[in-house]
A and B are shown apart, each in its own frame.
Chain A
């Protein structure tokens, strides 16, 4: 008779030998580095062009985002419609995204179509013209989208907490206002584009089951462009971080709101700090996954929320430890109390071995799953490369997950989970 009360034996996380597949590096004629992950079974690929063109480089609020959004909206010889139709005809996805330091363009397509698509990407990078009419539509529609978002408590809370952490003058802390759209001029976009895209700092990441002709094609279409490899940033010129003086905020965004968006956050060093990967383990126990303390207590025991998480922000200059949840209006206070209680428990009592084993194994299992497939491996490498790290950081992280002790975690909790260091925000 089967005994259903005893769990089957498992292979422990410590025994898993995680390997991060290495990239191959190709250098184009103009010095652009291409990081290549040649893996996978499907005849499909992804190429990302990463420019140093994030909002850190803009002189007007919202400019970097506007340039990124309008990259597909016209060149000297193609209209926005022609460009969209071209990519869509070949079943390809061309997405753009703008971040704090970088902005990227990403192409996903079937291998058989890539030769039709690369020359058009090269055209967008070297010859985008930002037609007035497209800009006018962008401004109007962007304002309308923002108006809708400003009605959402989670959106408002997300903007405010980052401005408290970094200061509104910092690229991490600023956010767009309705009137910012009005100030965007075509000349601003063109000159930003010329400086940071067509003559900008670029690197590329390529992943998939790659056609043998791809390196030659990349050099043909991108090696002759006036791009250059990024130069390491001078640390002394980084923008100043000025956190807000006031720590606690209660904001009424919608008097009829039935939930509060709660954000509790503190500044935290970047990935180069020796505690970063250790605190990731602490964070996992605290609020990093479904079995975490915050979720177990505040959702699974009290039912105050549909979900509560904590995480470390993926910022290059400085990170933050952030707790986020949406809770019923009448239980917001109680939720915040419980968050602080969980911090206190981690400071006062060592985590028991079973709970730590659970967090270790869950983390290792997740990484194993995350490394499954070329795009996932590429995304991990992208994060390492952009933070100026390499595979040693990955393996050090694994070592920490496998060996960190309850005592070390308790010390880290005492150092970092001090409520006095946290901003606290409720937006209803």
Chain B
């Protein structure tokens, strides 16, 4: 049997789903063409669930999940002995852990993942070390890089209420440095419970085997209380927002963001295609008009944050030396006005849909990506959405793009950040 299979020209990712009595949702995707198995555990907690005074905690916590669990002092050794690799990541929305190992050794992954869902060891030493490691991660990616702090500023500009206003790494080093073991314990027992988790097992496995292993290793873990998310929602933006900063960087840079639909709304697919029209590849509009024809930017991109709650469509670029930020901004606006006044051509629309189709096919080639996507779609409401995605993109029309662009690129929906090259003035806000 091979998988995924095509049915009626559409990719089908087949899976089975069941739930343990403690509430843990389990999905199984069989693919007998690979010798490997993937065990993916997604917890329904991300940076958006943090206390504004203790930001960066969900991500710090992810590090602590590798610091030993109640019965297993060392997570890495048994996994490596079983020939496995693993990693994890935290987003603003959720936290995801994955293991890939030879299918024969799959039980080792159940042993490890279930013990750290049962309880951590809550080691003081692990917390102390990982605070430092995360501070170094913070410095490496956000302080010690030119333009590294831009997203701290852009999030604060675009979000006033919603916890997307801070980064997953945290808003400042001190929040990480001040994390305490009691915070860790509370966080674990609130969020890291079977009832808030999704387990996906994929690869050379059978549903029967997974059911048996899931009952054996996860079945006895206390269910926990379902976390009901109640976050402050971002009111609809109704004003033009601008911010200027000056930093010791070689080039001026322009960043613009526009609140867009959430991952679950139909508008998401339209916005995704709009980013392709504007910034997807060398024939995209911003690339062609602003790098090649007008020569205002040396680099320009358009993408979106794709978050579960309403996200941001982003345009960012570095300016050619000598070009003013005001002129560059105006030229971007001209392109956005075209999006608001003229329909994209059929050819352009077909192009961005074909690109999307390819992207989906290539992404789904790896069993690890398939397992990860199933978990995320299940979090969004139904793993089967994975099989209907392409259809949703294909249904988008040129009229939809025009209507969405009018709303998205309305100036009162815009956040613009001028990042100037120069010597920062005293008192300028800075992450350091």
Contacts and interface: CB of A to CB of B under 8 A. Distances in A.
A87 to B, nearest CB: 8
A2 B133 contact: no
Interface in A74-124: 80-81, 83-85, 87-93, 108-110, 113
B232 interface: no
B62 interface: no
Contact of A10 (B34, B82, B358, B359): B82
A141 B318 CA distance: 10
A256 B137 contact: no
B129 A300 contact: yes
Contact of B354 (A89, A145, A254, A357): A89
A113 B354 CA distance: 10
Contact of A144 (B2, B114, B250): B250
A46 B355 CA distance: 16
B77 A41 contact: no
Contacts of A387: none
Q: What band does the interface of chain A fall in when counting residues whose beta carbon is under 8 Å from B?
A: 35 or more
Interface stretch (B17-25, B258-266, B276-284): B276-284
Q: Which of A91, A289, A358, A375 has the most CB of B within 10 A?
A: A91
A329 B354 CA distance: 48
A372 B217 contact: no
Contacts, number: 216
A148 B350 CA distance: 36
A201 to B, nearest CB: 28
B301 to A, nearest CB: 13
Nearest to B134: A306
Contacts of B249: 148, 151
B71 A4 contact: yes
Contacts of A375: 365
A8 B361 CA distance: 36
B84 A258 contact: no
B407 interface: no
A364 B3 contact: no
A417 to B, nearest CB: 22
B144 A4 contact: no
Given A44-B361, A89-B351, A372 B133 contact: no
Contacts of A364: 83
Given A110-B358, A151-B146, A144 B318 contact: yes
B365 A291 contact: no
A144 B347 contact: no
Contact of B105 (A11, A90, A108, A148): A11
Given A41-B3, A369-B36, A84 B282 contact: yes
Given A92-B358, A137-B295, A327 B102 contact: no
Contacts of B83: 10, 13, 16, 361-362, 364-366, 368
A413 B376 CA distance: 45
A289 B80 contact: yes
Given A91-B354, A152-B146, A306 B115 contact: no
B35 A372 contact: yes
B36 A144 contact: no
A250 B362 CA distance: 44
Interface in A351-383: 354, 357-359, 361-362, 364-366, 368-369, 372-373, 375
Contacts of B171: none
Contacts of B4: 41-42
Contact of B145 (A89, A152, A328): A152
Q: Which of B2, B34, B282 has the most CB of A within 10 A?
A: B282
A303 B351 contact: no
Interface residues of B, number: 85
B111 A144 contact: no
Nearest to A3: B71
B329 interface: no
Given A328-B139, A365-B83, A365-B85, A144 B298 contact: yes
A87 B83 CA distance: 40
Contacts of B115: 4
B102 A365 contact: yes
B160 interface: no
A358 B365 contact: no
B136 A259 contact: yes
Given A8-B111, A362-B85, A41 B2 contact: yes
B385 interface: no
A304 interface: yes
B299 interface: yes
A71 to B, nearest CB: 12
A361 to B, nearest CB: 5
A283 to B, nearest CB: 15
Contacts of B81: 7, 10, 354, 357-358, 361-362
B282 A362 contact: no
A303 B298 contact: no
A361 B105 CA distance: 11
Contacts of A327: 136
Contact of B251 (A8, A87, A144, A289): A144
B365 A44 contact: yes
A109 B139 CA distance: 39
Contacts of A359: 80
B356 to A, nearest CB: 8
Given A42-B4, A151-B146, A326-B139, 11 more contacts: A8-B108, A81-B283, A81-B288, A88-B282, A88-B355, A89-B351, A110-B357, A326-B140, A368-B36, A369-B36, A372-B36
5 contacts: A41-B3, A148-B318, A152-B146, A328-B139, A362-B80
Interface of B: 2-4, 6, 33-36, 70-72, 76-78, 80-85, 100-102, 104-105, 107-108, 110-111, 114-115, 118, 128-137, 139-140, 143-147, 216-217, 220, 248-251, 280-283, 288, 291-292, 295, 298-299, 318, 320-321, 347, 350-351, 354-359, 361-362, 364-367, 432
The 3 closest A-B pairs by CB, nearest first: A365-B83, A303-B132, A84-B282
